[in-house]
Amino acid sequence: MNILFLGDVVARSGREAVVRDLPALQREYGADFTIVNGENAAHGKGITKKIYKQLMAAGADVITLGNHAFSKREILDDINDCPAMIRPANMEPLHAGSSCVIKECHGKRIAVINILGMAFMNATAHPIPVMEELMKGLEADIIIVDLHGEATSEKILFARYFSGKVTAVIGTHTHVQTADETIINGCAFITDTGMCGPYDSVLGRDTGEVLSRLLDDMPTYYKPASGRVVICGCLIEVDDETNRAVRITRIQKRPE
């Protein structure tokens, strides 16, 4: 089983690139199942039902979110119409949507879980006990966690703690892909899988705007960059006999 995971889709240019390129990526990597983090898909912060549908129509099987899950407030009303989209388990408002989805693929039950790290995230609880709670009674062959967090150490600790119990822990949020992909006791791990968004930018945001925010201390409206796009993610290869991860491959498609 090959599971393709694409990192944070940022704004219009990232969204359009993923919608355009996802089928070709799935062919290139022989993907059986695709997870896309869409938490920055709507103008850099949040997601809408319309964008959820675009990403699903492009070939995503599950959409994960993060600290900006509800930045577009309309999604609070719409999230129940998006059954393959999950929001972090340890984030307010706790009542909206689900944090775990189970889908069947080639006879396997694949559970995808979304959790926030603690550092700079306003999480309601630590990710480790939250994950333990989510795993109680969870009936799945393959478990993939999108751990959306800032701190590298937190994500590494989480993966080491749950290795042997889950199939993959994929870090998201920083938008900067790390080069530490590894298999820990049958668990595929990368601290951050990177973003799908504007390449000539500051984490997807317009460079000039970030500069004036920092140097002039001027209030700014979040302005995503446009233009050339980088697509980042990873491929997780899972052994069909054991359901353990055997390989993780970084994907980074930079513009020419």
Structure tokens, 65: 């979110």
Query: Rounded to the nearest whole angstrom, what is the least distance from the CB of residue 115 to Fe ion in the complex?
Result: 12
CB closer to Fe ion, 1 vs 230: 230
CB closer to Fe ion, 7 vs 186: 7
Query: Rounded to the nearest whole angstrom, what is the least distance from the CB of residue 68 to Fe ion in the complex?
Result: 6
Query: Rounded to the nearest whole angstrom, what is the least distance from the CB of residue 30 to Fe ion in the complex?
Result: 29
Within a 10 A sphere around the Cβ of 103, how many other Cβ atoms?
Answer: 16
71 sits near Fe ion (criterion: CB under 5 A): no
Q: Among 67, 71, 99, 174, which residue sits at the site for Fe ion (rule: CB under 5 A)? A: 67
Give the binding-site size for Fe ion (rule: CB under 5 A): 3
Site for Fe ion in 144-173 (CB under 5 A): 173
Query: Rounded to the nearest whole angstrom, what is the least distance from the CB of residue 211 to Fe ion in the complex?
Result: 21
Residue given tokens 């390449």 in the structure block: 199
How far, in Å, CA of 195 to CA of 58, rounded? 17
CB closer to Fe ion, 66 vs 186: 66
66 sits near Fe ion (criterion: CB under 5 A): yes
Instruction: Select the span of 22-30, 65-73, 130-138, 180-188 touching Fe ion (CB under 5 A).
Output: 65-73
Residue 142 amino acid letter: I
Site for Fe ion in 170-199 (CB under 5 A): 173
How far, in Å, CA of 1 to CA of 208, rounded? 43
How far, in Å, CA of 136 to CA of 217, rounded? 47
Residue numbers annotated as active site: 68
CB closer to Fe ion, 78 vs 150: 150
Query: Rounded to the nearest whole angstrom, what is the least distance from the CB of residue 107 to Fe ion in the complex?
Result: 34
Torsion of CA 161, 4, 72, 102, to 10 degrees: -70
CB closer to Fe ion, 101 vs 121: 121
**CB hemisphere CA count around 227 (13 angstroms):** 12
45 sits near Fe ion (criterion: CB under 5 A): no
How far, in Å, CA of 211 to CA of 216, rounded? 8
Instruction: Select the span of 18-26, 60-68, 86-94, 186-194 touching Fe ion (CB under 5 A).
Output: 60-68
Q: Give contact residues for Fe ion (rule: CB under 5 A).
A: 66-67, 173
